[in-house]
Chains A and B, each alone.
Chain A
Amino acid sequence: MITKRIIPCLDVRDGKVVKGTYFQKLREVASPVELAKFYSENGADELVFYDITASAEGRKLFKDVLIETASNVFIPLTVGGGINTIADFERVLSCGADKVSVNSGAIANPALIGEAAKKYGNQCVVISVDIKRVNGEFHVFAKGGREDTGMEAIEWVKRCVGEGAGEVVVNSIDTDGEKNGFDLELLKAVCEAVDVPVIASGGAGCVDDFIKLFQTLPKVDAGLAASVFHYGEITIPNLKRKLCENGIPVRI
């Protein structure tokens, strides 16, 4: 039976792992390579690296981090951040990424999804969407959650999947950093709209949040989180044990 995936997310800036609360305050945690190895050995099913670097030197460091990680960690690796062109896909895939996550790059140029899917296969293209409620509507936000695009989020997700995105990461800005649980209302709407894997992100604070996520929404395929894993508030072996005890299939 296919298992639910638990995915730690590492935001990387200048070669180091950081975690933003509300996407704003950044704090250093550890070496991304070491953290990736640690998570892989402790039962992470997949890893996501987001490059939040702006500088050229940072880009170079990120490339080194990626190569080093992919040479030592043998679970699927998704890379996002600064993916705006096919050349950006090539840049990270050649360093060992398995999937590439696009966010603002797809908003600026939706054709990028189709081009990349045609070239690398749908399974390689992950659409990541930052979503926030605005006057009772789900809006897509760009630029790391700072800019309201005004686009309705569910329609946007459907369009991206139609273009060829093979997975969707749904990141709720409303619940991110709150540690009060995933945004079940938003996730339900996305699950009903598309039939590709849906990865829930934003709001995990404790083990029960993951249990509730998978029990309430069986169509959600994976749960993604960052700080709760980085700070050891949730350990993956314990999380998976608890999920298993609650009848949720996981890889142990």
Chain B
Amino acid sequence: MIAIVDYGVGNLFSLRSSFRKIGAEAVVTGDKSVIENADKILLPGVGAFADAAEKLRRSGLDEVVKAEVKKGKYMLGICLGMQLLFEKSYEYGEHEGLGLLKGKVVPMKDYIDPALKIPHIGWNGLQFTRPHFLFERVKNGDYAYFVHSFHAVDCEECVIAQTEYDKLLTASVAKDNVLGCQFHPEKSGDVGLNILRAFVEKKD
């Protein structure tokens, strides 16, 4: 069973539907014991970093997921959920993340060609930087759906895919059992479903 962590951020309808579509049992939950009993954890998130980090902390679920990850349980963060895995974010101020991955989240606007629109929104190609089980069922160059204005940097050691938006941006990260996608697999058609499938099927 996959626990989709509900800490009051974002719309979880599509995530739940996409797991149902691939035949995986997924529960939207804010319950500590359900998360502890799950096989894997999915950390969603949309909106502002500071607000999401605060809600996660206030719910106490930050400690729960950290403890589970420490035990070796796989956790996949999506979009803002991926950004929360890092040490810090500089989205309107300076905010602490979960610190499960080395790196930080910074505004894209100081980094890319100012003529390009922000948010980076739409379908963009995945460029794998190293082989990873999440991509077992997809091809290098396949497209995924992105919506974000901030991006992860100083995280070279955990980057597994990038995407080009003037510069190369962090598209996906992995370190041991901690995984993240900046794009939305639940909105990326068959490519996204295949990434979720690989996550679901991964054995320890």
Which residues on A are within 8 Å of B, measured CB to CB? 1-3, 5, 40, 45, 70-72, 74-76, 93-96, 98, 120-123, 166-167, 195-197, 221-222, 251
Contact = CB atoms under 8 A, between A and B. Distances in A.
Interface residues of B, number: 30
B94 interface: no
Contacts of B20: 71
Interface in B18-55: 18, 20-21, 46-48
Contacts of B48: 121
B13 A121 contact: no
B123 A251 contact: yes
A221 B122 contact: yes
A197 B147 CA distance: 12
A43 to B, nearest CB: 9
Given A2-B165, A251-B143, A74 B187 contact: yes
A93 B12 CA distance: 10
A167 B186 CA distance: 21
B59 interface: no
B177 interface: no
B46 to A, nearest CB: 6
A98 B11 contact: yes
Contacts of A221: 117, 121-122
B76 interface: no
A74 B13 contact: no
Given A3-B122, A72-B17, A75-B188, 6 more contacts: A45-B123, A74-B189, A74-B192, A75-B187, A123-B119, A222-B122
Nearest to B144: A251
Nearest to B120: A2
A195 B14 contact: no
Given A196-B117, A197-B117, A74 B14 contact: yes
B107 interface: no
B122 A45 contact: yes
Interface of B: 11, 13-14, 17-18, 20-21, 46-48, 117, 119-125, 143, 145, 147, 164-165, 186-190, 192-193
Contacts of A1: 124-125, 164-165
Contact of B47 (A93, A98, A121, A167): A121
Q: Name which of B117, B164, B192 has the most chain A CB atoms within 10 A of its CB.
A: B117
B46 A74 contact: no
A74 B123 contact: no
A17 B117 CA distance: 33
Contacts of A70: 13-14, 17
A120 B14 CA distance: 16
A3 B123 contact: yes
A197 B122 contact: yes
B125 A75 contact: no
A98 B10 CA distance: 10
A2 B123 contact: yes
A2 B122 contact: yes
A74 B117 contact: no
A205 to B, nearest CB: 25
